[in-house]
Amino acid sequence: MEKVLFKYVEEPQQYLIDNYIKNGGYQALPKVLKDFTPDELIEEVKKSGVRGRGGAGFPAGLKWSFVPKTDVKPKYLCCNADESEPGTCKDRVLMECDPHMVIEGCIIAAFAIQAHHAFIYIRGEFAYPAFRMEEAVNEAYGKGYLGKNILGSGFDLDMIVHTGGGAYICGEETALLSSLEGDRGMSRIRPPFPAIEGLYSCPTVVNNVETLASIPHIINRGVDWYRTYGTEKSAGSKIFSLSGNVNRPGNYEVELGTPLSYVINELGGGIQTGHKLKAIIPGGSSTPLLMPDQIDTPLDYEAVAEAGSMLGSGAIIVIDERACMVWVAMKLINFYQHESCGKCTPCREGTLWLKRLINRIEHGEGKKGDIELILDICENIMGRTICPLGDAAVMPTESIIKHFRDEFEYHIEHKKCKVKTDYAFE
């Protein structure tokens, strides 16, 4: 497949505006401003079938169309660059290597919903990507792609690069908005949905970096071209962050529907030499496991769901036989417990309880009945929380127990690991 988002990712200075333009950048924007009304643009994006790359896979065009057109309130666009889901590190590459692509996508999306303020919410730890984005935004102002009366179209847009402070929850769209407003990054109850009442209680669209970066390509080369990639329901290409026990971890762009085995074996060079595949987390740490026999699952939203997991943010974490799965479960629950915003009871208290239980099993102090208790606690969290963080904590836990219950039982009975995790550091 011809690379779309990663076409110039190896180019050393693609982040400079002149290079971006030289390589065909900022052509979609003038076209949009000249040839499209906002409605036509939304229609076009709907037709392209591009779906949100932030995790939920919600059709982008449809989301934009929810923004009230008659509302006199200002509208806002937020580019979600919080990228904190363990395993995910793709947006960072786009921002570091091709920031103008993201910016161009943002301007087009802002035009579609008639927003005059766009925010790029970047996780605080990403100082360098934020710096690249900031520089790029300044360049774009300099060339008249941002600011007042963009390219003489009469459309104004202010773009602000905003950095976070170290909180995974701020990737969740409503928490992101709270954080952007200067509050603690706590999720808010929906409805109202952000498209109706988001930032400063005004209609707001939140899209992932990769989603927005895809937009200029769709405009430049057309819906039909875009649809030649991917499947009927999962159109286009997507970046997968491959990490864990493979020979060549990295970010790889493939078209949706590509078999998981291709990414792991061909692109990633297979499981780390000398080791055997044990399990795969296909879509970021919050998604249920796929087992070795599912390695040929096509990477599209539908197929992965059918296989019992989720495509999520496209972060493939490969686990080989050296890992104790209780240890894996512990690593994950410790993360979610640390990141719960604390607003709702099941998430706040439940993740802590799970953390204590799983840690005690891992440390050889598990008690009989702990597994059942864990599963029951999971049931009491699942679907009971404000935002999906609660679910995100539960899904991998349940899935790991489902597939590797024996390891948990062994731990409780023998007070030690069935497989002693020991990844060397050399």
Partner 1 sequence: MSDNGKEQITLTIDGREVTVDKGTTVLEAARSIGIDIPYFCWHPKLDSVGACRMCLVAIEKFPKPVVSCATDVMPGMVVRTDTDEIVKARRGVLEFLLLNHPLDCPTCDKGGECDLQDNVFSNGIDTSRQTFLRNRVIDEETKTTFDDKRIGPEIIRNMNRCVTCFKCVRFNKEIAGEFDLGVYQRGSSTVIDTPPGEPIDNLYSGNVVEICPVGALTNTDWRYKVRVWKTKQADSISSYDADGQNIKLYYDHRLIHRAMSRPNDDVDEGWICNIARYGYQYINSLDRITKPLIKKEGQQVEATWDEAIKLIAKRFKEIKDKKGSVCIAGLTGGNLSTETNYLFNKFFRHNLHSNSVDYRLENIDLKDGVETAAYNCLSAAPFKIADLEKADTILIFASNFIKDHPIVNLRLRKAHRKNGARVYTANPVVTKSADISVDELIYQPDTEAAFLIALIHAVIDHKLYKNIDESKAAEIKTVLKPASLSEAAGICGIDEARITELARALAAGENLYILAGEYLKASQHRHTIANGLFNLANLLGVDDDKAAILATHANSIGADRVGLRPNLSASLAETLASKWEAELPDSSGCSTSQIFKGALGEEIDSIFIMGANPAMRYPDGPFVNAALDKLDFLVVADLFETATTAKADVVLPLAGWSEQSGSYVNLEGRYQPFSKALPSKQGVKTGIEIIRSLAEAMEAPLGLDDKTLETETKEVVDSWKREPRAVDTFYDVKQSGVIDHGDFPYRLLIGNDLHHYGYLSEHCPSLMRFTSDVYLEMSPNLAEKLKIADGDLVRVESSTGKLVLKVRFSEYFEGEVLFIPNNFSSVEVNHLVSREGGGWVKIEKLDDK
Partner 2 sequence: MILNDATIKEITTRMERYPSRKSAILPALTYAYRQVGHLDAPVYKELSKIIDIPYVEIAEAASFYTMFPKKEVGRYLIQVCHNISCSLRGADNMLIYMQEKLGIKMGETTPDNLFTLISVECLGGCSAAPMMQVNQTFYEDLTREKIDKILADLSAEAEKDGK
User: What are the residues binding partner 1 (CB under 8 A)?
Assistant: 167, 169, 184, 186, 188-189, 337-346, 348-353, 356, 367, 373, 379-381, 383-386
Q: For residue 127, count other CB atoms closer than 10 A to its CB.
A: 11
DSSP states of 50-98: -B-SSSS--BHHHHHHTS-SS--S--EEEEEE---STT--HHHHHHHH-
Footprint of ligand FES on residues 23-82 (CB under 6 A)?
A: none
Candidate list 323, 361, 389, 394; residue touching partner 2; CB under 8 A: 323
- Is the CB of 82 or the CB of 139 nearer to ligand FMN? 82
Backbone Cα Rg of the chain: 22
Quote the least distance from Cβ 180 to ligand FES, whole Å.
17
Q: Which does 353 bind (CB under 5 to 8 A by kind): ligand FES, ligand FMN, partner 1, none?
A: partner 1
Quote the least distance from Cβ 189 to partner 1, whole Å.
4
- Taking CB under 6 A as the rule, does residue 395 contact ligand FES? no
Phi and psi at residue 175, to the nearest 5°: -70, -35
Residue 186 in tokens:
């706590």
Q: Which does 52 bind (CB under 5 to 8 A by kind): ligand FES, partner 2, ligand FMN, none?
A: ligand FMN
- Is the CB of 170 or the CB of 239 nearer to partner 1? 170
- Is the CB of 55 or the CB of 390 nearer to ligand FES? 390
Q: For residue 175, count other CB atoms closer than 10 A to its CB.
A: 25
Q: For residue 338, count other CB atoms closer than 10 A to its CB.
A: 12
DSSP 263: I
- Taking CB under 8 A as the rule, does residue 158 contact partner 2? yes
Footprint of ligand FES on residues 336-375 (CB under 6 A)?
A: 340-341, 343-344, 347
Torsional class of 255: left (φ above 0), alpha (ψ -120 to 50), beta (otherwise) = beta
Name the nearest CA neighbour of 375 among 344, 415, 409, 416: 409
Show the beta-strand stretches assigned E in 310-400. Answer: 315-320
Name the nearest CA neighbour of 286 among 357, 405, 166, 388: 388
- Taking CB under 8 A as the rule, does residue 128 contact partner 2? yes
Candidate list 4, 15, 20, 53; residue touching ligand FMN; CB under 6 A: 53
Footprint of partner 2 on residues 55-114 (CB under 8 A)?
A: 74, 83-89, 92
- Taking CB under 8 A as the rule, does residue 242 contact partner 2? yes
Q: Using CB under 6 A, list all residues that contact ligand FES.
A: 169, 187, 340-341, 343-344, 347, 385-387, 389-390
